[in-house]
Structure formats: structure tokens, C-alpha cells
Amino acid sequence: MGNPFYPSYGILPKVFLGREDIIREFLYGLENAPGDPNRSTAITGARGTGKTAVLKEIGKEMLRLGWIPVYVLMKNELLDDIYEETIHSCKEHIKQESKRKVTGISLFQVSINWENIEQEERWEAKMHNLLSQLTEKSIGVVFEIDEVQGNSEDLRRFAAFFQQYREAFKIALLMAGIPHQLDSVFSDKVISFLRRSRLKQLGLLSASESKILIRKTFSLSHKHITEEAVDFIAEKSGGFPYLIQLLGYEVWESAADDIDIEQTRAGVNKAETYIGSSLIELILQDLSLTDKDFIYGLAALRTPAKVSDLMEYTRFDRNKLNQYRRRLDREGVIYSPERGYVDFVIPYMKEYLSERL
């Protein structure tokens, strides 16, 4: 009977909608032969578009096919995290050898001296042992690496291992990251084979998908919401998955059992106070100084803004403006609603940046 919306990082929402094609194609790759290109897939999109949720949903679905998800958040100790998480996720199916040996036995008293064997075994050998046991039992492992980024020696070693054994073992790879970080991975010459991974770009949900998601999520609780209120939340969210969760959460918290449009407006107004810190600031951290010059210039103009007006305001020449326009479009920050115009993708971003100007 609690709040059915989850505007928290990495939490799978109660109602999952709009990414069915991505899930279906990856699961098809698991059922198909090891050479299926879907067995190495990268999911990208702006922050808040639900990349982690897609990983979690695929992880839930793959279990019925006999595959086990091994989810890790990319950090400095990536190899250790992958190994430990594989043991944890597959502990029912693997046999771990003891790392202790007997060093002495006393005949006069019952005592045994044990010594830990601290053997510096290479990561590749340890993973080979684990995956051999699992493959013998026809159990597959999908390595899910979230917040992936380039220039990592651990990622290079993992990628080389995956490339070498992807046919011998029942394994697959699912990565997620923001666009420029994935670009840095794909441009790494040492792991260039990852460029052949299937790249899936997460965009916004359609208006109809947003309304269905909002309506279904509210239906999981005891509170009833009017269609007018559902339409209002969908419009204000702009189809942004994180914003649907945030706005829905605050509306549910602020309203009585029967939610009308006035209660919905109040809840949305409260949610708007958190959007800057919980979403927009995170996006700004990923941008370069010149990226920010571009978007602050866009925020200062009436949007959608003419490209010529933006050139004049930012004092960028055409080549520079087009370069950063393409970059920010790929990052999911701006788009072109029509030829010669640009606008923000993310709701509330223009207002937030305008206030900071």
C-alpha cells in the first residue's frame, strides 16, 4: 500500500515499459548460438533514461532461460568485483576449493594448525575455473557492467578474456553508459572488437507509453488518479523515465486517495524543486566547458532557437557550433525540432540554466 514510484538510482520500477525490443533482442541472442551479435550489447542514453533499469529487467528475464546475471558497477577494482560477484551469484552451482592446508598435528592434544594459502592466482585462471564449472552444467553467465568508461586496464583484461572464451563458455556481455564514455571504450584500440557490440540508444518514452506507465503504477496502490492528472504528469515529464518516477512519487505523497488535477499540480511543483540537484547537475558534470557555453547560450534565447541566433550569441563559428551541436545531440541534451532550430530535450533544463545565468 506504499508509494509505488521509485525515483532512486538503480531501483527497478514496479512497472517497466517502453524498452521491450531491446530486451527481446538480447534474450534472443542468449537462446541463439554463441556467435549471435546480441550477446555483446551496449546500452546508452542520457542520465535518467533508464539504462540501469533495463539492465535489471533483462537480468530478471534471463533467469528463466538458465542464464545468471552478474551485475557490477564499474569502479577501480573491476576484475575483483566481477570475480566476487560471479561467486556470489552462482554459489549454488560452483565448488570452491579450500585455501587452507594442514601444517601440524599434535599427538598429545587435539589440535590442528592451519595455514591459509595466499596464492596469487591470476584473475584469468580463477575465472576460467568458475566458468568451466558453470558451462559443464549448461548454466550461462551474463556480465552486466554499468557506468562503463574507457581507459581502464581492468576493462581491457576483461574484454580480452571475454573475446578469447566467448565460444568456449556460455557467456554474454551487457554494458551500459552515457554516450561519450561508451565512445571512449569503443575507440580503445586494445579492445576494438567491442565496436561490433550491438549499440542500443535509449530515448524518451512516447506520450501514450508515459500515460500507460503512470496509470498502471498508480493502480498498484489504493489511490485513484483522474485521466486529467495522468495527462498532466505525462506532459510535465516529457517522456523522461526518471522524471515520471519523481513526479509520480511526489504527487502520490502529496495527494489524498482520490487524486485530482489540483493535487497533481501541487505534487509536481514540489518535485520540480528536486530536478536540478537530482538530474540536471549530474548531466552538467558530464559536459565540457565548451559544451556548457553552448547550452547556456541556448538557455538565454527563446527556444526552439535559431541556429543563426545561437551562433551570434555564443560567437561560435559554424564549424564549431555544428561540432558541439552534434556532441550534445548524441549526449541526449539537445535536439532539432525542425531544420535550422535547436531545443533542449530535458524538461526544466532551460529554466534551471536561465536562473543560473
Phi then psi for residue 55, to 5 deg, are -60, -45
Is residue 350 scored above 50 in pLDDT?
Answer: yes
- What confidence score (pLDDT) does residue 190 get? 78
Q: Where residue 98 falls among pLDDT bands split at 50, 70, 90?
A: very low
- Report the CATH fold assignment for 207-284: Helicase, Ruva Protein; domain 3 (1.10.8)
- What confidence score (pLDDT) does residue 256 get? 84
Q: Which three cell numbers stand for residue 339?
A: 531544420
Is residue 105 scored above 60 in pLDDT?
Answer: no
Question: What percent of the chain stands above pLDDT 70?
Answer: 92
Q: Where residue 1 falls among pLDDT bands split at 50, 70, 90?
A: low
Per the CB < 8 A criterion, the answer to whether 267 and 255 are in contact is yes
What class has domain 20-94+121-201? Answer: alpha beta
DSSP per-residue string spanning 59-85: HHHHGGGTEEEEEEE--TTHHHHHHHH
Q: Where residue 34 falls among pLDDT bands split at 50, 70, 90?
A: confident
Q: Mean of the pLDDT values across residues 191-220?
A: 91
**Strands lying side by side in the sheet with 40-44:** 67-73, 140-146, 171-177, 40-44, 198-201
How far apart, in whole angstroms, are the C-alpha atoms of residue 284 and residue 20?
30
- The answer to whether the Cα torsion of 83, 85, 88, 89 is positive or negative is negative
Q: Where residue 17 falls among pLDDT bands split at 50, 70, 90?
A: confident
For 222-281, what is the HEC assignment?
A: CCEECHHHHHHHHHHHCCCHHHHHHHHHHHHHHCCCEECHHHHHHHHHHHHHHHHHHHHH
Q: Which three cell numbers stand for residue 231?
A: 495527462
Task: Express each pLDDT in 110-158 by its tens digit.
Answer: 454 444 433 446 999 999 999 999 999 999 999 999 999 888 999 999 9
- What confidence score (pLDDT) does residue 151 get? 85
Per the CB < 8 A criterion, the answer to whether 314 and 301 are in contact is no
Evaluate whether 207-284 and 287-356 have a shared fold. Answer: no
Domain 287-356 sits in CATH at 1.10.10.10
Q: Mean of the pLDDT values across residues 83-107?
A: 72
Secondary structure class of 143 (helix, strand, coil): strand
- What confidence score (pLDDT) does residue 189 get? 81
Is residue 254 scored above 50 in pLDDT?
Answer: yes
- What confidence score (pLDDT) does residue 283 get? 92
Per the CB < 8 A criterion, the answer to whether 200 and 22 are in contact is yes
Q: Where residue 241 falls among pLDDT bands split at 50, 70, 90?
A: very high
Q: Mean of the pLDDT values across residues 166-173?
A: 94
- What confidence score (pLDDT) does residue 340 get? 94
- What confidence score (pLDDT) does residue 125 get? 95
How far apart, in whole angstroms, are the C-alpha atoms of residue 288 and residue 113?
59
- What confidence score (pLDDT) does residue 71 get? 96
Q: Mean of the pLDDT values across residues 234-243?
A: 94
Per domain, the residue ranges of the chain are 20-94+121-201, 207-284, 287-356
Buried b (16+ CB within 10 A) or exposed e, 279-308: bbeebbeebeeebebbbebbbbbebbbebe
Q: Where residue 191 falls among pLDDT bands split at 50, 70, 90?
A: confident
Which residues on adjacent β-strands are paired with residue 67?
140
Which H helix or E strand runs over 3? none
Contacts of 259 (CB under 8 A, 6+ apart): 218, 223, 224, 225, 226, 229, 251, 252
> Using alpha carbons only, what angle is made at residue 211 by residues 208 and 213, rounded to the nearest 5 degrees?
110
